[in-house]
Structure 1
């Protein structure tokens, strides 16, 4: 392995603490995959995740710090893992058992409140010289996610060595720590990590210069945050019109309040794009609205941001993007079957959009504060109610919610830090 000292035996651990742990248990994972197809979030009941007493994590090297989570969000990638839907692509860059949780605001031992930048890049792993991507500041493209003095892991929350936010304590490299302003609430701070993803997406959109119309597919957490980032000066995007799809009333209301000019039901997107662009329709849908399966539009929007990542959403994105346009995939996709004929014929580009840089994180703090994104935190739960929390997060849309998080502010900790616990009035 390139760089970094060899992994040795861990030193003596501290006292036990509560943590949610995900183990490598293929039978349980298969059961979660079956249960997850029947009911979203049910993998938490039958899969390989459980609440356990675990040892306090060890510091990989002397410059690492301890972070005691206050709030830790539940992300779509967490839900995909718990419900057995995660791609096997990640197998070489995950280590077991791991404690999930990469959307984290917490306290350092000196009382500093900070958010976690979870990417486990070369600097975090003690690898020198840095890989080409890390040297360029593109730590989200680091290719050494299984080397150095840490176990494999693309991020904290998927690595045995670091722990994760769904626990009383985790460890972090100093480069992963971003102190936050005192006037930023915990609920706002826990939105910084997903907002950094949205800022990264907005900055990719900005590389296209001024655009007439951008479509956002999906207005769950990522879609809403992407709208906010596209409309914020730090994103750098210049867009005349944002059209978004939303399934539920609260998603549509939030999308409008965050900057979408038009919010429509998913099945209406083709018709609306046809109207906005003056496109004609080819094929069986020539007498009706075009949605991608009942006719082909001759024109489309400049760029589509897919914040869902399913075969259906990607197909719809390709059906409404203009010839020569781009589909930016922000929602995590998996193994899928997709007809790419239109991509070839219309010279459309599909571009991935993963994670963020430290600069994206710093900008995200401003976006969160200015757009009042703390309001997207719909509910918090103690770790002891993890099954309820995961089910709530997995069914957030139909239940009128957006972001669900774990609240560790009153949880027992290995060492007391910031004993004045925050209010738990919004905790379920």
Structure 2
């Protein structure tokens, strides 16, 4: 038997949670605990789907922003065709293998090996020939995430067949697994998946030598993106929009040149770039001029709107946080901006970076993330770890992370 926190289909509960958390964001934690279609279950562990799969037992599993918008009913209906229910959330996982497994690169792992999980359920996991995205190493762009021998699910943690990290047991395909070095603590290893997404975001931003960059949002997504920009690009001045004191301190530690509040974002960018600030008759101000690249790591309508309004003509706006609201796209059109999405990490194992023969081989985002997890100043980033029985407290803490001084909240699956 395996204990798990399961999200099930209930339209009345979903709508109640969506309405309450949407109208009263301060009560989102209460809504998730009282009205969300979540239940703690005890049942059989997920069955191994086929060859190349292995049961794993989570040690720690993080609570991601995408998990929070899902359990509070704020995610887009776009996703309904990409998941299968009921599913167990959780895709930021450090776990132990329960049987031996040979990874796709030939590495042999005995039972009891610590691993981290690339959650994307691409063609390899589904027993299918590689689609164009997977063949090029861009597994985050897989076109087959609803077919094959698995039920629909864009990732582990959104698929009924595999289970998820908020449980005592789930199954993973060998193509998803990366061994954890013996000297890397669980509290750092559980951050590898979000760090890999941040590496992917930093590389998708395509920062040129000396480019001025604005990161909007200083939760884990924004802070990890800052780390990745500093480690793997030649970005110039990096400004971070941070709301809370502990976020300011972390942003400074992680390499931000300037840190500004949300209320002063437009003015701060104007001063730093000598842009011209304009005030329309209605609506917020915007700039003629601005930063070369804005990265929205908050995913709100206001954060994306800010990004569009402070990026110079011909610049790039990168959408990293899960979008949750409508926004005026006039600046995108008028300033001829590039709008770039960045969803998950890319595998890149031994594959050309752009899919072309003879191109440079791109290391997996997870390989780079493991490097960051070992070397970056991440002590204390996992602010709290809760047993599954206290899932309401965990979600409430995660939803209030900013004001409560937390960066990452996790479930401790080794707790009794």
Task: Show CA shifts across 1:224-266 (max 9, x none).
Answer: 000011111xx2x111210001110000000010010111111
- Report the TM-score when normalising by structure 1: 0.87
User: Does structure 1 retain, via aligned residues, the 8 Å contact 2:254–2:377?
Assistant: no
Aligned equivalent of 2:262: 266
Of residues 398, 408, 412, the one that matches 2:403 is 398
Aligned mates of 1:186, 1:250 — CA distance in 2: 23
Aligned equivalent of 2:17: 32
User: Does structure 2 retain, via aligned residues, the 8 Å contact 1:368–1:374?
Assistant: no
Quote the offset at 1:293 in angstroms: 4.2
Quote the offset at 1:361 in angstroms: 0.8
Aligned equivalent of 1:95: 84
Instruction: Give the secondary-structure state (helix, strand or coil) at the position aligned to 2:236.
Output: strand
User: Does structure 1 retain, via aligned residues, the 8 Å contact 2:54–2:173?
Assistant: yes
Which ranges in structure 1 are unaligned for 5 or more consecutive residues? 1-15, 286-291, 412-428
Quote the offset at 1:331 in angstroms: 0.4
Moved more, 360-369 or 38-47: 38-47
Aligned equivalent of 2:215: 216
- The number of aligned residues is 384
Aligned equivalent of 1:341: 330
User: Does structure 2 retain, via aligned residues, the 8 Å contact 1:31–1:43?
Assistant: no
User: Does structure 2 retain, via aligned residues, the 8 Å contact 1:188–1:372?
Assistant: no
Quote the offset at 1:209 in angstroms: 2.1
Aligned mates of 1:251, 1:321 — CA distance in 2: 23
Aligned equivalent of 2:138: 138
Instruction: Give the secondary-structure state (helix, strand or coil) at the position aligned to 2:404.
Output: coil
Are 1:328 and 2:318 an aligned pair?
yes
1:55-204 map, 5 Å: 55-109=44-98, 110-128=111-129, 130-204=130-204
Quote the offset at 1:34 in angstroms: 2.4
Are 1:386 and 2:391 an aligned pair?
yes
Aligned mates of 1:283, 1:115 — CA distance in 2: 48
Quote the offset at 1:54 in angstroms: 1.5
Of residues 369, 376, 384, the one that matches 2:381 is 376
Aligned equivalent of 1:53: 42
Aligned mates of 2:90, 2:326 — CA distance in 1: 30
Quote the offset at 1:309 in angstroms: 1.4
Aligned mates of 2:306, 2:249 — CA distance in 1: 22
Moved more, 379-388 or 340-349: 340-349
Aligned mates of 2:140, 2:56 — CA distance in 1: 22
Instruction: Give the secondary-structure state (helix, strand or coil) at the position aligned to 1:354.
Output: coil
Quote the offset at 1:307 in angstroms: 0.1
Of residues 282, 306, 309, the one that matches 1:319 is 309
1:412-427 map, 5 Å: none
Aligned mates of 2:285, 2:38 — CA distance in 1: 44
Instruction: Give the secondary-structure state (helix, strand or coil) at the position aligned to 1:67.
Output: strand
Instruction: Give the secondary-structure state (helix, strand or coil) at the position aligned to 2:90.
Output: coil
Aligned mates of 2:51, 2:20 — CA distance in 1: 43
Instruction: Give the secondary-structure state (helix, strand or coil) at the position aligned to 2:51.
Output: coil
Task: Show CA shifts across 1:197-217 (max 9, x none).
Answer: 100011122x34213310000
Which ranges in structure 2 are unaligned for 5 or more consecutive residues? 99-110, 348-363
Moved more, 308-317 or 207-216: 207-216
Q: CA RMSD in A?
A: 1.4
Moved more, 367-376 or 319-328: 367-376
Aligned mates of 1:29, 1:222 — CA distance in 2: 26
Are 1:277 and 2:266 an aligned pair?
no
Of residues 229, 242, 253, the one that matches 1:257 is 253
Task: Show CA shifts across 1:64-115 (max 9, x none).
Answer: 1011000000011111111111111111110011111100001012110000
Are 1:304 and 2:294 an aligned pair?
yes
Query: Residues 180, 280 of structure 1: CA spacing in aligned structure 2 closer, same or farther, 3 A cutoff?
Result: same
Aligned mates of 1:284, 1:18 — CA distance in 2: 55
Query: Residues 374, 65 of structure 1: CA spacing in aligned structure 2 closer, same or farther, 3 A cutoff?
Result: farther
User: Does structure 2 retain, via aligned residues, the 8 Å contact 1:35–1:43?
Assistant: no
Quote the offset at 1:284 in angstroms: 5.3
